[in-house]
């Protein structure tokens, strides 16, 4: 069962979780929009299940609600050790990011399984100060472009870096690259 691809994406529970967490915090949609830096329309659409949103914007919502990214996106009945939710899909059919699970850290730690098809890339927004990533490549070659350098990480090797900067992942190879990301605050 654990080898099957995840059926639900991280957005499948955001609407109900967002509404519940917002009400528990005693916030209106307008005050949550102001606190998170997002538009009220985005909040309304998310609660209605009618929009897509960046992972960084979900982080901003979680921070404004004083909760974790995982509590915002995960099935409320799921065990955090095994979330297995699709969070990102690239242009190539082999490109995806799956939130595998989460454990407590200073604030939060997340374990992700990623793959990028030939020539695909992922360009996230910088994380808030204090976030770091540990990336371990299991197949192929991954290029990680940071603000000050580019790292080439091959299968069996890893890189650790601050994700509180502009960075991206790219697959420069001829076949799918697979890697595991751990993000920690």
pLDDT at 1: 26
Cβ contacts of residue 62 below 8 Å, gap of 6+?
68, 69, 71, 72
Q: What is the pLDDT along the chain (185 residues), one digit of tens a residue?
A: 223 333 457 778 889 999 999 999 999 999 999 999 999 999 999 998 876 788 889 989 999 999 988 889 888 887 777 787 788 888 899 998 888 877 777 778 899 999 999 999 999 999 888 889 999 999 999 999 999 999 999 999 999 999 999 999 999 999 999 999 999 88
Query: 10-73 adopts what CATH topology?
Result: 434 Repressor (Amino-terminal Domain) (1.10.260)
pLDDT at 160: 92
Burial of 80: CB neighbours in 10 Å, binned 0-12, 13-18, 19+: middle
- Tell me yes or no: is domain 85-184 CATH 3.30.70.20: no
Same-fold call for 10-73 versus 85-184? no
pLDDT at 100: 81
pLDDT at 152: 97
- Alpha helices, H only, 49-150: 55-64, 69-73
Give the up-direction half-sphere exposure of residue 80: CA atoms within 13 A in the CB hemisphere.
13
What is the residue extent of each domain of the chain? 10-73, 85-184
Cβ contacts of residue 65 below 8 Å, gap of 6+?
18, 21, 22, 25, 27, 32, 72
């Amino acid at each position: 069962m654990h080898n099957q691809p995840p059926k639900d994406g991280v957005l499948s529970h955001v609407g109900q979780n967002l509404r519940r967490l917002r009400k528990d915090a005693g916030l209106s949609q307008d005050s949550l929009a102001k606190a998170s830096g997002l538009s009220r329309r985005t909040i309304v659409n998310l609660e209605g299940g009618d929009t897509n949103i960046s992972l960084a914007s979900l982080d901003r919502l979680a921070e404004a609600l004083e909760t974790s990214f995982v509590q915002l996106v995960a099935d409320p009945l799921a065990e955090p050790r095994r979330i297995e939710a699709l969070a990102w899909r690239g242009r190539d059919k082999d490109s995806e990011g799956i939130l595998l699970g989460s454990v407590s850290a200073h604030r939060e730690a997340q374990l992700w399984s990623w793959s990028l098809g030939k020539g695909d890339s992922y360009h996230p927004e910088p994380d808030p100060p204090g976030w770091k990533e540990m990336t371990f490549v299991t197949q192929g070659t991954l290029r990680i472009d940071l603000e000050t350098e580019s790292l080439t990480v091959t299968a069996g090797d890893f890189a650790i870096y601050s994700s509180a900067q502009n960075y991206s992942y790219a697959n420069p190879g001829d076949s799918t690259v697979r890697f595991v990301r751990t993000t920690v605050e």
